[in-house]
Amino acid sequence: MPTRRRSLARLGAAGAAALLPPWAAPAQARTLNGFDLRDALVPADAIEAGGPPRDGIPAIDRPRFVDAARSGLRDDDRVLGLVRGGIARAYPVRILNWHEIVNDRLGDDAVAVTYCPLCGTGMAFDARVGGGVASFGVSGLLYNSDVLLYDRGTESLWSQIMARAVAGTLKGTALQPLPLTHTSWAGWRQRHPRGEVLSTDTGHQRDYDRDPYASYAASPALMFDVQHRDERLPAKAWVLGLTVGGEAKAYPFDLLAQRVGPDGRLDDRVGGRRVRIRYDAAQRSAEAFDAEGRALPAVAAFWFAWVAFHPRTQLLAPR
């Protein structure tokens, strides 16, 4: 297993744990940031404290939106775009870097828009869980370097990329992913000029003009452990990850730039089904669609994050 890089706070916690008698260590390991990890679906010792405490990264619970003309975004700013019930909304990454979760409603649909800066993964989910509507917070914990959400009703822990509860009373329950587009503001605005944009009026004081992960994104190094590594691509190469019919496949952006036709499309098969990948080189954005042209919930991610959760993933081959 790769050597872990811990913050001073995490080193302190590890040192304290080492002073416990052997019979006390297992019990201590079952709780982290106040969450019960007993009988977790993933190895409990692979769940790590990211540094901030529970809700130290505050989710946005009362999002406000402005029209495109008042967004204040630059053309090359990255956004997560969601269309639901005829409503188009853009969630700027510059805001999500500081909050990671937006609990929102688009018409009658309750959704959770999530972003993990360490994995580059933006994913949206239907927030209906177990007959009710879940409200999610940031646990301060990570698995495979990916954010673990928690629902405030049961305090179960949910893996973003797995889209599943991995600990707590709802363990094993799946979330329904929604198609989400990770693109540039210019690209999204062109497609949805009357869309709404998440406002920086979040109720929290943050420097949304500063990217706290700029140096991390530019470095090949990881900050936290992952359970599986794969050297077929550089760790932080961008890929579009897709699962269909129980089969996973990754489409490297750099390879898509060579493989797509003049119309920006690539036809393929995943899980025995026809899919179409659309790649926009100008906006560095990729999306997936089924044979009927319906958007699929694919995810743009750093390669290391996708393959950590999908170790048997296929990889788009060169020509």
Measured CA distances, 155 to 110, 158, 221 (Å): 19, 9, 32
**Can you give the pLDDT at residue 22?**
36
Give yes or no for residue 147 having a pLDDT over 80: yes
Residue with tokens 């990729």: 286
CA dihedral 151, 155, 160, 148 (to 10 degrees): 130
Q: Say if residue 149's pLDDT is above 90.
A: yes
CA atoms of 203 and 91, how far apart (whole Å): 16
Contacts 24+ apart (CB under 8 A), 229-232: 229/2, 229/304, 229/307, 229/308, 230/303, 230/304, 230/307, 230/311, 232/303, 232/307, 232/315
Residue 113: both structure tokens together: 């828009």
Closest CA to 313 of 251, 269, 250, 254: 250
CB contact set of 215 (below 8 Å; sequence gap of 6+): none
Summarised one tens digit per residue, pLDDT across range 89-117 is 999 999 999 999 999 999 999 999 999 99
Q: What is the model's pTM?
A: 0.90
Please, what's the b/e burial string for 160-178 (b: 16 or more CB within 10 A of its CB; e: otherwise)? bbbbbbbbbebbebebebb
pLDDT value for 29: 52
Regarding predicted confidence, which is higher, 24 or 38?
38
In this prediction, residue 2 carries a pLDDT of 37
Task: Report residue 220 as tokens.
Answer: 């090949």
Nearest to 300 by CA among 232, 218, 236, 241: 241
pLDDT score for 24: 35
Mean pLDDT rounded to a whole number for the chain: 91
- For 213-241, b/e burial (b = at least 16 CB within 10 A) is eeeeeeeeebbbbbeeebeebebbbbbbb
Residue 131 confidence class, pLDDT cut points 50, 70, 90: confident
Mean pLDDT score, 259-288: 96
Q: Can you read off the two tokens belonging to residue 151?
A: 């629902």
Helices and strands: H and E segment counts in the chain: 7, 25
Q: Is the pLDDT of residue 255 over 70?
A: yes
Give the mean model confidence (pLDDT) for residues 47-57.
96
- In this prediction, what percent of the chain has a pLDDT beyond 70? 91
- Burial of residue 146, with CB atoms counted within 10 A of its CB: 0-12 exposed, 13-18 middle, 19 or more buried: buried
Measured between alpha carbons, how far is 24 from 37 in angstroms, rounded to an integer?
Answer: 15
**What average pLDDT score do residues 174-181 get?**
98
Do residues 47 and 40 make contact, with C-beta atoms less than 8 angstroms apart? Answer: yes
Longest pairwise C-alpha distance within the chain? 65
Structure tokens, 65: 């939106």
Q: Left if phi > 0, otherwise alpha if psi is -120 to 50, otherwise beta: which for 203?
A: left
Res 9: pLDDT: 35
**Predicted local distance difference test score (pLDDT) of residue 319:** 79
Q: Is the pLDDT confidence value at 195 over 80? A: yes
| Chain-centre distance for alpha carbon 123 | 5
pLDDT score, position 18: 37
